Amino acid sequence: MGNSLRCISQEQDPNQKKPSSVVNGNSSEKHVRRLSLIPSFRRRTLLPSLSCSGSSTSSTSKKGGIKTKKKIRERHHQEHHHDHEKDSLIQEQTLAATNILFSQTPRNSNSAPPFRRSTSVVYTQPPQAAVAASVGSVSGALTPKKSTYGYVRSSSNRQRSSTDPVLKPNQLLDKELKVEGAETKRFVLVHGGGFGAWCWYKTITLLEKHGFQVDAVDLTGSGVSSFDTNNITSLAQYVKPLLHFFDTLKPTEKVILVGHDFGGACMSYAMEMYPSKISKAIFISAAMLANAQSTLDLFNQQPDSNYDLMEQVHLFLYANGKKNPPTAVDFDRSLLRDFFFNQSPPKDVALASVSMRPIPFAPVVEKLHVSEKNYGSIRRFYIKTMEDDYAVPVSLQDAMIKSNPPEQVFNLKGSDHAPFFSRPQSLNRILVEISQLPPKKSS
């Protein structure tokens, strides 16, 4: 078998007769020169076999092969010496570039080189800018690029200054906000129709982290309440747990009341009854009703296209028979994500799908009666959920704001109907910002 293995060059065909040029040894020399371009480690493995690949019958070809090997070793040595000189030149150029780079950075400074900053990083404002921002409007709609926390939107058209701090990941999110100037440090959260206190778990965590005391109430027939929603016959009965909470407050204690969805009508009921115990009222995509208006009246103002979608999601329950009015409204679980939670994490959608309960129908059709003396004396703020809210679309929120104007409106972009799931950090910042607003001076 060893006799059958031969090194064959590309110019040779084993079935063809050898041309006359093979006999004189020139073919062997030409073959080795072509393979001299192969790296040295391949030369060491191939050359022993190549020495016998040409004409091995003449002593002249052997002498030519030995001379050729010597020339290859000399050439390899020259190439190695040339590569060493090239590497030295590259090292010198690298050191020179490094000296130029660090010469632009002040000594004894921890600042980074003046590269253009990324659009994905947010930096804090200088102290002067933060003070200037704090005296301006806190409305997200009026001053979208400023905030009382000293945050500023990142920009790709300004180079970082040597005085700009270098932030670590999540540093802004973990930064504790100062709440010493807040009128009250207690929040009360009211869930929307079908929800429960469970939906506020992210908001509770974030607010408590910043030093607030937070209470989330389960309305009658919601959350852990065992009451049958089909047996709720009035708005007062539905909000009874919230009213009981206000009865337990100290006489001089005030809270910031927050409501979502149908919880807006519930908190309005409490605002009329306990105006002295509520510092501020915050409506989050919530039913902010005018006097003598019901929640059903409000939702009947929606366009027909959105109304059709609402009919598909909501399922009426008739505990007293279909000849009588509905007693509650349940949800088609297969449409919850598209209608309520199209921007929320899957785990929160799963939580809602197993936790949501029917909405009592009687409180939805009951007209709310509020007065300017009580309800009107409380400072109101509205947080608008923007394009992705199909439960309470922007057009309906604008209609409520126009007919019953609050003190200030905040736009929460990128949120669905449940910002406590889809945009918890942004919602938390707005809530804390509103809490820091100083009390209005009495005229």
For residue 264, the tally of other CB atoms under 10 A from its CB is 28
What is the distance between the alpha carbons of residues 145 and 177, in angstroms, rounded to a whole number? 19
Q: What are phi and psi of 436, to 5 degrees?
A: -85, -10
Q: What are phi and psi of 330, to 5 degrees?
A: -105, -175
For residue 427, the tally of other CB atoms under 10 A from its CB is 26
* Cβ atoms 36, 68 nearer than 8 A: no
Q: Which of 348, 351, 350, 310 is nearest to 332 (CA)?
A: 310
Burial of residue 440 (CB within 10 Å: 0-12, 13-18, 19+) is exposed
Q: String of b and e for 59-83 (b: at least 16 CB within 10 Å)?
A: eebbebbeebeeebeeeeeeeeeee
Tokens of 297: 């009246």
- For residue 55, CA distances in Å to 41, 52, 60, 65, 67 come to 25, 7, 10, 10, 16
* Cβ atoms 383, 270 nearer than 8 A: no
In sequence order, which residues have a C-beta less than 8 Å from that of residue 207 and are 6 or more positions away?
187, 214, 428, 431, 432
What is the distance between the alpha carbons of residues 217 and 211, in angstroms, rounded to a whole number? 19
Q: Give the residue numbers annotated as catalytic, written as ranges.
A: 261, 389, 417
